[in-house]
Amino acid sequence: MALYVKKSYEELPDLLQKEGVSGARAMVVADTNTLPLYGDEAVRALSKSFAQVSTYAFPAGEEQKRLSTVEGLYQALISGGFDRHDVIFALGGGVVGDMAGFTAATYMRGITYVQLPTTLLAQVDSSIGGKTGVDFEGYKNMIGAFHLPAFVYTVPKTLETLSKREFASGMGEVIKTALLGDESFFEWLLDHIYEIDEREPKVLAEMVRRASSIKARIVAEDPREEGLRKLLNLGHTLGHAIEKYKAFSLPHGYCVALGCIAAAKISHGRELLSTEELFEIRDVFVAFDLPILVDGIDKDAVVALTKADKKMQAGQIRFVLLKKIGKAVVSTNVTDAELMDGLSFICAEDALKER
Protein backbone atom coordinates (compact mmCIF):
# COMPACT_ATOMS: atom_id res chain seq x y z
CA MET A 1 0.00 0.00 0.00
CA ALA A 2 1.57 3.24 -1.16
CA LEU A 3 1.61 6.38 0.99
CA TYR A 4 1.92 9.82 -0.58
CA VAL A 5 2.46 13.11 1.26
CA LYS A 6 1.85 16.08 -1.05
CA LYS A 7 1.35 19.84 -0.88
CA SER A 8 -2.05 19.78 -2.64
CA TYR A 9 -4.49 17.52 -4.46
CA GLU A 10 -3.11 18.54 -7.87
CA GLU A 11 -0.99 15.41 -8.25
CA LEU A 12 -3.89 13.07 -7.52
CA PRO A 13 -4.69 12.35 -11.22
CA ASP A 14 -1.08 11.36 -11.95
CA LEU A 15 -0.97 9.03 -8.96
CA LEU A 16 -4.29 7.44 -9.86
CA GLN A 17 -2.76 6.56 -13.21
CA LYS A 18 0.45 5.35 -11.58
CA GLU A 19 -1.46 3.11 -9.14
CA GLY A 20 -3.76 1.78 -11.86
CA VAL A 21 -6.92 3.23 -10.32
CA SER A 22 -9.61 4.09 -12.86
CA GLY A 23 -13.34 4.01 -13.48
CA ALA A 24 -16.17 6.02 -14.96
CA ARG A 25 -17.44 7.37 -11.65
CA ALA A 26 -15.93 8.68 -8.42
CA MET A 27 -17.74 9.30 -5.13
CA VAL A 28 -16.14 11.71 -2.65
CA VAL A 29 -17.35 10.87 0.85
CA ALA A 30 -16.91 13.53 3.51
CA ASP A 31 -18.65 15.04 6.52
CA THR A 32 -20.31 18.42 6.68
CA ASN A 33 -17.20 20.01 8.20
CA THR A 34 -14.70 18.72 5.65
CA LEU A 35 -16.58 18.96 2.37
CA PRO A 36 -16.84 22.80 2.39
CA LEU A 37 -13.12 23.08 3.18
CA TYR A 38 -11.55 20.66 0.71
CA GLY A 39 -14.34 19.23 -1.42
CA ASP A 40 -14.01 21.67 -4.34
CA GLU A 41 -10.25 21.13 -4.63
CA ALA A 42 -10.60 17.35 -4.52
CA VAL A 43 -13.46 17.32 -7.03
CA ARG A 44 -11.51 19.53 -9.46
CA ALA A 45 -8.55 17.16 -9.34
CA LEU A 46 -10.68 14.05 -9.72
CA SER A 47 -12.63 15.53 -12.64
CA LYS A 48 -9.47 15.14 -14.71
CA SER A 49 -9.66 11.36 -14.20
CA PHE A 50 -13.37 10.54 -13.99
CA ALA A 51 -16.34 11.38 -16.21
CA GLN A 52 -18.63 11.66 -13.17
CA VAL A 53 -17.60 12.94 -9.74
CA SER A 54 -20.26 12.93 -7.03
CA THR A 55 -20.13 13.93 -3.37
CA TYR A 56 -21.85 12.53 -0.32
CA ALA A 57 -21.68 14.33 3.03
CA PHE A 58 -23.11 13.29 6.39
CA PRO A 59 -23.19 15.25 9.67
CA ALA A 60 -19.85 15.36 11.46
CA GLY A 61 -19.33 13.41 14.66
CA GLU A 62 -18.54 9.95 16.07
CA GLU A 63 -22.25 9.42 16.70
CA GLN A 64 -22.73 9.23 12.91
CA LYS A 65 -20.46 6.19 12.69
CA ARG A 66 -23.31 3.73 12.44
CA LEU A 67 -24.98 1.41 9.98
CA SER A 68 -27.77 3.85 9.14
CA THR A 69 -25.21 6.34 7.79
CA VAL A 70 -23.67 3.61 5.65
CA GLU A 71 -27.13 2.75 4.34
CA GLY A 72 -27.51 6.34 3.16
CA LEU A 73 -24.24 6.05 1.28
CA TYR A 74 -25.35 2.75 -0.30
CA GLN A 75 -28.46 4.52 -1.55
CA ALA A 76 -26.40 7.36 -3.05
CA LEU A 77 -24.14 4.89 -4.84
CA ILE A 78 -27.05 2.92 -6.24
CA SER A 79 -28.93 6.01 -7.42
CA GLY A 80 -25.72 7.32 -9.00
CA GLY A 81 -25.24 4.13 -11.00
CA PHE A 82 -22.00 3.11 -9.32
CA ASP A 83 -20.73 -0.37 -10.09
CA ARG A 84 -17.81 -2.44 -8.81
CA HIS A 85 -15.40 -0.79 -11.28
CA ASP A 86 -15.93 2.69 -9.81
CA VAL A 87 -14.05 4.34 -6.93
CA ILE A 88 -14.85 5.82 -3.52
CA PHE A 89 -12.64 8.57 -2.07
CA ALA A 90 -12.66 9.08 1.72
CA LEU A 91 -12.04 12.79 2.32
CA GLY A 92 -11.89 13.47 6.04
CA GLY A 93 -10.92 12.10 9.41
CA GLY A 94 -11.19 8.68 10.97
CA VAL A 95 -14.97 8.49 11.02
CA VAL A 96 -15.19 9.30 7.31
CA GLY A 97 -12.36 6.93 6.43
CA ASP A 98 -13.73 4.02 8.46
CA MET A 99 -17.25 4.33 7.07
CA ALA A 100 -16.23 4.99 3.46
CA GLY A 101 -13.86 2.04 3.68
CA PHE A 102 -16.54 -0.22 5.15
CA THR A 103 -18.93 0.84 2.40
CA ALA A 104 -16.26 0.07 -0.21
CA ALA A 105 -15.64 -3.32 1.39
CA THR A 106 -19.31 -4.32 1.26
CA TYR A 107 -20.86 -2.51 -1.73
CA MET A 108 -21.24 -5.07 -4.53
CA ARG A 109 -18.92 -7.31 -2.47
CA GLY A 110 -16.09 -4.82 -2.65
CA ILE A 111 -15.00 -1.86 -4.75
CA THR A 112 -11.85 0.25 -4.86
CA TYR A 113 -11.36 3.17 -2.50
CA VAL A 114 -8.66 5.75 -1.83
CA GLN A 115 -7.97 7.45 1.48
CA LEU A 116 -7.62 11.26 1.49
CA PRO A 117 -7.15 11.86 5.24
CA THR A 118 -7.53 15.43 6.50
CA THR A 119 -6.97 15.07 10.26
CA LEU A 120 -3.70 14.22 11.97
CA LEU A 121 -5.19 11.12 13.58
CA ALA A 122 -6.34 9.84 10.20
CA GLN A 123 -3.10 10.74 8.42
CA VAL A 124 -0.89 8.79 10.81
CA ASP A 125 -3.20 6.00 11.87
CA SER A 126 -6.77 5.26 10.80
CA SER A 127 -6.30 5.75 7.03
CA ILE A 128 -3.51 3.16 6.96
CA GLY A 129 -3.95 -0.58 7.09
CA GLY A 130 -7.43 -1.29 5.80
CA LYS A 131 -9.36 -1.54 9.06
CA THR A 132 -12.88 -0.32 8.31
CA GLY A 133 -16.08 -0.36 10.29
CA VAL A 134 -18.81 1.25 12.35
CA ASP A 135 -19.72 1.43 16.01
CA PHE A 136 -22.59 -0.72 17.27
CA GLU A 137 -24.64 -0.27 20.46
CA GLY A 138 -21.88 1.72 22.10
CA TYR A 139 -19.05 -0.63 21.11
CA LYS A 140 -16.40 1.03 18.97
CA ASN A 141 -15.68 -0.52 15.54
CA MET A 142 -17.57 -3.68 16.49
CA ILE A 143 -18.81 -4.25 12.91
CA GLY A 144 -16.22 -4.01 10.15
CA ALA A 145 -13.94 -5.59 7.60
CA PHE A 146 -10.35 -5.52 6.43
CA HIS A 147 -10.29 -3.69 3.09
CA LEU A 148 -7.05 -2.03 2.01
CA PRO A 149 -7.24 1.29 0.17
CA ALA A 150 -5.58 1.47 -3.24
CA PHE A 151 -3.32 4.12 -1.69
CA VAL A 152 -3.28 6.90 0.87
CA TYR A 153 -2.87 10.50 -0.32
CA THR A 154 -2.12 12.98 2.46
CA VAL A 155 -2.02 16.78 2.22
CA PRO A 156 -0.61 18.08 5.54
CA LYS A 157 -1.85 21.62 4.89
CA THR A 158 -5.27 20.37 6.01
CA LEU A 159 -3.86 20.28 9.54
CA GLU A 160 -3.89 24.09 9.57
CA THR A 161 -7.68 24.10 10.01
CA LEU A 162 -7.78 21.62 12.90
CA SER A 163 -8.78 22.86 16.33
CA LYS A 164 -6.21 22.60 19.10
CA ARG A 165 -8.22 19.72 20.56
CA GLU A 166 -8.30 17.79 17.26
CA PHE A 167 -4.60 18.33 16.65
CA ALA A 168 -3.70 17.16 20.16
CA SER A 169 -5.87 14.08 19.66
CA GLY A 170 -3.83 13.20 16.58
CA MET A 171 -0.63 13.66 18.55
CA GLY A 172 -1.84 10.92 20.89
CA GLU A 173 -1.54 8.44 18.01
CA VAL A 174 1.76 9.93 16.82
CA ILE A 175 3.36 9.48 20.25
CA LYS A 176 1.87 5.99 20.57
CA THR A 177 3.47 5.01 17.27
CA ALA A 178 6.88 6.29 18.37
CA LEU A 179 6.60 4.50 21.72
CA LEU A 180 5.87 1.12 20.18
CA GLY A 181 8.17 1.20 17.20
CA ASP A 182 10.90 3.84 16.95
CA GLU A 183 12.90 5.34 19.81
CA SER A 184 14.68 7.75 17.44
CA PHE A 185 11.30 9.11 16.30
CA PHE A 186 10.33 9.59 19.95
CA GLU A 187 13.49 11.63 20.48
CA TRP A 188 12.76 13.58 17.26
CA LEU A 189 9.35 14.53 18.63
CA LEU A 190 10.95 15.82 21.82
CA ASP A 191 13.42 17.86 19.75
CA HIS A 192 10.63 19.45 17.68
CA ILE A 193 7.98 20.27 20.29
CA TYR A 194 7.98 23.99 19.46
CA GLU A 195 7.84 23.53 15.67
CA ILE A 196 5.04 20.97 15.96
CA ASP A 197 3.08 23.24 18.28
CA GLU A 198 3.50 26.07 15.74
CA ARG A 199 2.45 23.65 12.98
CA GLU A 200 5.41 24.42 10.76
CA PRO A 201 4.58 22.81 7.38
CA LYS A 202 7.91 21.08 6.73
CA VAL A 203 8.09 19.67 10.24
CA LEU A 204 4.48 18.42 10.10
CA ALA A 205 5.11 16.78 6.72
CA GLU A 206 8.16 14.99 8.14
CA MET A 207 6.23 13.92 11.23
CA VAL A 208 3.36 12.52 9.15
CA ARG A 209 5.80 10.68 6.87
CA ARG A 210 7.65 9.07 9.76
CA ALA A 211 4.59 8.10 11.79
CA SER A 212 2.63 6.75 8.83
CA SER A 213 5.66 4.82 7.54
CA ILE A 214 6.05 3.00 10.88
CA LYS A 215 2.43 1.87 10.81
CA ALA A 216 2.58 0.97 7.09
CA ARG A 217 5.66 -1.19 7.70
CA ILE A 218 3.95 -3.09 10.50
CA VAL A 219 0.74 -3.53 8.51
CA ALA A 220 2.67 -4.82 5.49
CA GLU A 221 4.16 -7.58 7.64
CA ASP A 222 0.84 -8.49 9.26
CA PRO A 223 -2.12 -7.23 7.22
CA ARG A 224 -4.82 -9.11 9.16
CA GLU A 225 -3.57 -8.53 12.71
CA GLU A 226 -2.46 -12.07 13.46
CA GLY A 227 0.81 -11.13 15.13
CA LEU A 228 3.02 -8.06 14.87
CA ARG A 229 0.17 -5.68 14.06
CA LYS A 230 -1.32 -6.22 17.51
CA LEU A 231 1.42 -3.93 18.82
CA LEU A 232 -0.45 -1.01 17.22
CA ASN A 233 -3.06 -1.46 19.96
CA LEU A 234 -0.73 0.09 22.55
CA GLY A 235 -2.91 2.28 24.76
CA HIS A 236 -6.14 1.08 23.16
CA THR A 237 -7.44 -1.59 25.55
CA LEU A 238 -7.89 0.76 28.50
CA GLY A 239 -8.17 3.73 26.12
CA HIS A 240 -11.23 2.28 24.38
CA ALA A 241 -12.76 1.33 27.74
CA ILE A 242 -12.33 4.89 29.05
CA GLU A 243 -13.69 6.26 25.78
CA LYS A 244 -16.82 4.13 26.09
CA TYR A 245 -17.25 4.81 29.81
CA LYS A 246 -17.11 8.53 29.06
CA ALA A 247 -19.75 8.06 26.32
CA PHE A 248 -17.23 9.24 23.70
CA SER A 249 -17.05 12.72 25.24
CA LEU A 250 -13.23 12.53 25.19
CA PRO A 251 -11.43 12.53 21.80
CA HIS A 252 -9.98 9.19 20.77
CA GLY A 253 -6.38 10.42 20.92
CA TYR A 254 -6.87 11.68 24.47
CA CYS A 255 -8.02 8.21 25.51
CA VAL A 256 -5.09 6.59 23.70
CA ALA A 257 -2.73 8.90 25.60
CA LEU A 258 -4.28 7.90 28.92
CA GLY A 259 -4.14 4.24 27.88
CA CYS A 260 -0.46 4.52 26.96
CA ILE A 261 0.39 6.05 30.33
CA ALA A 262 -1.54 3.31 32.14
CA ALA A 263 0.25 0.67 30.02
CA ALA A 264 3.59 2.27 30.91
CA LYS A 265 2.68 2.07 34.61
CA ILE A 266 1.84 -1.64 34.28
CA SER A 267 5.12 -2.15 32.39
CA HIS A 268 6.94 -0.33 35.19
CA GLY A 269 5.25 -2.61 37.74
CA ARG A 270 6.70 -5.58 35.86
CA GLU A 271 10.15 -3.91 35.92
CA LEU A 272 10.19 -3.56 32.14
CA LEU A 273 10.48 0.23 32.34
CA SER A 274 12.54 2.28 34.76
CA THR A 275 10.93 4.99 36.88
CA GLU A 276 12.72 7.57 34.74
CA GLU A 277 11.26 6.08 31.53
CA LEU A 278 7.77 5.96 33.07
CA PHE A 279 7.76 9.66 33.85
CA GLU A 280 9.43 10.57 30.57
CA ILE A 281 6.58 8.84 28.77
CA ARG A 282 3.96 10.57 30.91
CA ASP A 283 5.54 13.99 30.47
CA VAL A 284 5.76 13.85 26.67
CA PHE A 285 1.97 13.78 26.54
CA VAL A 286 1.89 16.93 28.68
CA ALA A 287 4.20 18.64 26.19
CA PHE A 288 1.72 18.05 23.38
CA ASP A 289 -1.38 19.23 25.30
CA LEU A 290 -2.70 15.76 26.06
CA PRO A 291 -4.22 14.69 29.38
CA ILE A 292 -2.33 12.55 31.87
CA LEU A 293 -5.24 12.26 34.32
CA VAL A 294 -8.95 11.51 33.88
CA ASP A 295 -11.66 12.30 36.39
CA GLY A 296 -15.06 10.83 37.10
CA ILE A 297 -14.36 7.19 36.25
CA ASP A 298 -15.33 4.02 38.08
CA LYS A 299 -12.20 1.90 37.77
CA ASP A 300 -14.09 -1.37 38.30
CA ALA A 301 -16.51 -0.45 35.52
CA VAL A 302 -13.66 0.46 33.16
CA VAL A 303 -11.93 -2.88 33.83
CA ALA A 304 -15.23 -4.65 33.14
CA LEU A 305 -15.51 -2.82 29.81
CA THR A 306 -12.15 -4.22 28.71
CA LYS A 307 -13.74 -7.69 28.75
CA ALA A 308 -15.97 -6.72 25.82
CA ASP A 309 -13.05 -5.45 23.75
CA LYS A 310 -12.31 -7.02 20.34
CA LYS A 311 -8.77 -7.68 21.56
CA MET A 312 -9.93 -10.46 23.88
CA GLN A 313 -8.53 -13.89 22.96
CA ALA A 314 -9.77 -17.11 24.59
CA GLY A 315 -11.01 -15.12 27.58
CA GLN A 316 -7.70 -13.25 28.00
CA ILE A 317 -6.97 -9.63 27.18
CA ARG A 318 -4.22 -9.15 24.60
CA PHE A 319 -2.56 -6.19 26.29
CA VAL A 320 0.36 -4.28 24.80
CA LEU A 321 3.18 -3.41 27.20
CA LEU A 322 6.46 -1.55 26.72
CA LYS A 323 9.82 -3.24 27.17
CA LYS A 324 11.43 0.14 26.60
CA ILE A 325 10.69 3.31 24.66
CA GLY A 326 10.41 2.21 21.05
CA LYS A 327 9.86 -1.48 21.82
CA ALA A 328 6.44 -3.01 22.59
CA VAL A 329 5.33 -6.56 23.39
CA VAL A 330 1.95 -8.30 23.59
CA SER A 331 0.98 -9.95 26.88
CA THR A 332 -2.00 -12.25 27.52
CA ASN A 333 -1.59 -12.46 31.29
CA VAL A 334 -2.23 -8.91 32.50
CA THR A 335 -4.36 -9.25 35.62
CA ASP A 336 -7.30 -7.17 36.79
CA ALA A 337 -5.12 -5.99 39.67
CA GLU A 338 -2.57 -4.68 37.18
CA LEU A 339 -5.30 -2.96 35.18
CA MET A 340 -6.48 -1.30 38.39
CA ASP A 341 -2.92 -0.20 39.16
CA GLY A 342 -2.59 1.36 35.71
CA LEU A 343 -5.93 3.11 36.06
CA SER A 344 -5.03 4.42 39.52
CA PHE A 345 -1.98 6.10 37.98
CA ILE A 346 -4.18 8.14 35.61
CA CYS A 347 -7.19 8.61 37.89
CA ALA A 348 -7.45 12.24 39.02
CA GLU A 349 -9.19 11.32 42.27
CA ASP A 350 -6.41 8.88 43.18
CA ALA A 351 -3.79 11.51 42.37
CA LEU A 352 -5.46 13.95 44.79
CA LYS A 353 -5.46 11.34 47.55
CA GLU A 354 -1.69 10.94 47.20
CA ARG A 355 -1.01 14.64 47.72
User: What are the DSSP E strand ranges found in 93-170?
Assistant: 112-117, 131-136, 139-146, 151-154
Confidence of residue 223 (pLDDT cuts 50, 70, 90): confident
Kindly calculate the radius of gyration of the chain based on its CA atoms and give it in whole angstroms: 20
CA separation for the pair 344, 355 (Å, rounded): 14
List, in order of start, the domains of the chain with CATH numbers: 2-160 (3.40.50.1970), 168-354 (1.20.1090.10)
Q: How many CB atoms lie within 10 A of CB 84?
A: 11
- pTM for the model stands at 0.93
Ramachandran angles phi, psi of 38, nearest 5°: -130, 0
The sign of the CA dihedral 138, 139, 145, 147 is positive
Q: 254-283: per-residue pLDDT in tens?
A: 999 999 999 999 999 999 999 999 999 999
Q: Kindly write down the DSSP assignment for every residue of 23-53, as one continuous string.
A: -SEEEEEEETTHHHHHHHHHHHHHTTT-SEE
What's the average model confidence in pLDDT over 13-40?
97
Active site residues: 109, 131, 173, 215, 225, 229, 233, 236, 240, 252
Please classify residue 95 by burial: count the beta carbons closer than 10 Å to its beta carbon, then call 0-12 exposed, 13-18 middle and 19+ buried. Answer: buried
pLDDT score at 309? 66
pLDDT at 355 over 70: no
Under 8 Å CB-to-CB from 290, ≥6 apart: which residues?
Answer: 168, 171, 172, 175, 253, 254, 257
What's the average model confidence in pLDDT over 278-298?
97
| Residue environment code for 18-44, b if the CB has 16+ CB neighbours within 10 A, otherwise e | ebebebebbbbbbbebbbeebbeebbe
pLDDT score at 354? 66
Q: 333-350: per-residue pLDDT in tens?
A: 999 999 999 999 999 988
pLDDT at 314 over 60: no
List the end-to-end C-alpha distance of the chain, in Å, as a whole number.
50
